[in-house]
Every structure is written in structure tokens, then in C-alpha cells.
Amino acid sequence: MKTLNRRKFLNKSCPILLSTIVGSTLLQYCTAEEIAEQAPISGGYSVSGNVLTIDLSHSDFGALDSKGWINFASQNLLLLKKSATEYKAFTNICPHERVKNKWSYSASTQKFTCHEHDNAYSSDCATAGKGGVLDCYKVALSGTQLKVYL
Ligand code: FES
């Protein structure tokens, strides 16, 4: 059996290994950046008691039209536009280990995925993922005003 000198092995393997590790780390970092990247919402809503009222025509909520969902981080909410007349609101606290702000949404599976451990959660407000159901809130739409009952 041929033995490989440790130094020669490391010299041959490390660039590939390092490239793989760094590439993976960069990929994960870039993915997290992409998910976290979202302009903070600073206007177009008000909170009174346990009722959050959102003006959907406000530019800060424009991503609901273009992307179909937003992470409303300051209110710990995920907002989902199902259609012109149907919206849903969920907690953005992951049922698994309560991590926030690492979400993506797939319209094809109708699931949110928390990228802390890549667990997916249904947007049907009933089907449990790892750790439980992604809790949703009652909402009411009137014109461009969306009320979320927290
Ligand atoms: S904390 Fe969200 S998947 Fe683990």
C-alpha cells in the first residue's frame, strides 16, 4: 500500500478543501444576507392595543405586491398576500427554536422555510412543522386597510 506523506497530502488537498469550506460558508452567508435583506418598514402602519392596522398602499408594503410576502421584523410578523383579497399574517418566531428573520417563502409549496435549520412550515395555519404550527393571526381587509389582530 502506498503511503502519502502528510505534508504532501495537505498541500494537495487543502486548496480544494479550503475552497469547498469557504465556498460553502460564502454560499450560506450570501443566502442569509439575501433573506435578511429587506428595507425596514418605517411607515404605513399603526398599532392600537392588540390591533395592527396596515395601509397596504404605503410604499413600505410594496414588496407584498412584488414578492408576495414580507418579514415585518419590527412587529415580529410574516405577511403573505395570497390574492388581491386574501392576506395572511403569521408570527415570524420559528416554532423550532424561536429564531426570527431567517425566512423565505415558496409559492409553489405554500410554505415558509426558516433557514436556521431549514425547516419548512405550512401557511395553512394548521399543519405542524418541526416544533409545531407556525402561528397565524386573524386578519380583516377593508379597502387598502389590513387589520391584524395580535
Ligand atoms: S430555529 Fe427555525 S428551523 Fe430551527
Q: What is the pLDDT of residues 15-42, one digit of tens each?
A: 444 344 444 444 444 344 445 456 788 8
The tens digit of pLDDT for each residue in 40-67 reads 888 999 999 999 999 999 999 999 999 9
pLDDT at 5: 52
The pLDDT of residue 40 is 83
pLDDT at 38: 66
| Average pLDDT over all residues of the chain | 83
Q: Residue 95: phi, psi to the nearest 5? A: -65, -20
73-82 mean pLDDT? 95
**Is residue 77 within 6 Å of ligand 1 at its C-beta?**
no
Between β-strands 103-106 and 69-72, what pairing exists: parallel, antiparallel or unpaired?
A: unpaired
Taking the centre of ligand 1 as the mean of its atom positions, its distance from the CA of residue 19, in whole angstroms, is: 27
What the block records as the C-alpha cell of 133 is: 404550527
State whether the beta carbon of 70 lies less than 6 angstroms from ligand 1: no
How far is the first Cα of the chain from the last one, in angstroms, to the nearest whole number? 68
Contact between 137 and 87 under an 8 Å Cβ cutoff? The reply is: no
Taking the C-alpha atoms of residue 12 and residue 64, their distance in angstroms, rounded to an integer, is 50
* CATH number belonging to domain 45-149: 2.102.10.10
**Global model pTM greater than 0.85:** no
Pocket test for ligand 1, best of 100, 114, 121, 135 (most atoms within 8 A of CB): 114
Among 3-12, 24-33, 112-121, the range with the most confident prediction by mean pLDDT is 112-121
Distance CA 122, CA 116 (A): 16
